[in-house]
Amino acid sequence: MRFKDLANPGFPIPEKEANKIMHIALPIGKNNVLIGNDVPDFLGRVNEQENRSKISITAESKAEADQLFTGLSAGGEIEMPIEDSPWGSYFGGFRDKYGIEWIVEYDPTLHAKVE
């Protein structure tokens, strides 16, 4: 998705920003996704520590999500503690000790039994 895809009268996008990437996702395996985006000038200046690219991991259980979150975030900076989210998943985010941004999520709807 590009920023121009969001443009509307209430949210105009400058022409020089229109083709920048708002969201791109590369599925990796069964439930994991590498996501990224550009940062348009209207969102302010960013540096390498604010690159807005994240690695997203979808766990198979809350226990696995906790284990991944705790292990990968050690020595880093928690941006959003892992907890139940308003949208129904168990979710958290952090920047690891190397500056890489991560999202860890467990979504019970992905693991619901179909009868």
Tens of pLDDT, residues 73-110: 999 999 999 999 888 899 999 999 988 889 999 998 87
Q: How many domains does the chain have?
A: 1
In a domain, 66, yes or no: yes
- What range does the domain containing 59 cover? 53-110
pLDDT tens by residue, 42-76: 777 766 655 566 788 889 899 999 999 999 999 99
74 lies in a domain? yes
- The CATH number assigned to the domain holding 61 equals 3.30.720.110
Asked if the structure places residue 27 within a domain, the reply is: no
The verdict on residue 19 lying in a domain is: no
Residue 64 belongs to a domain = yes
pTM, full prediction: 0.60
CA nearest 92: which of 58, 115, 47? 58
How far is residue 75's CA from residue 79's CA, in Å, rounded to a whole number? 13
Kindly give, in sequence order, each residue whose CB lies less than 8 Å from that of residue 58, ignoring residues fewer than 6 positions away: 31, 32, 33, 105, 106, 107, 110
Give domain status of residue 1, yes or no: no
Q: Using an 8 Å Cβ cutoff, are 61 and 70 in contact?
A: no
Determine the Cα–Cα distance for residues 24 and 107; give it in Å rounded to an integer: 20
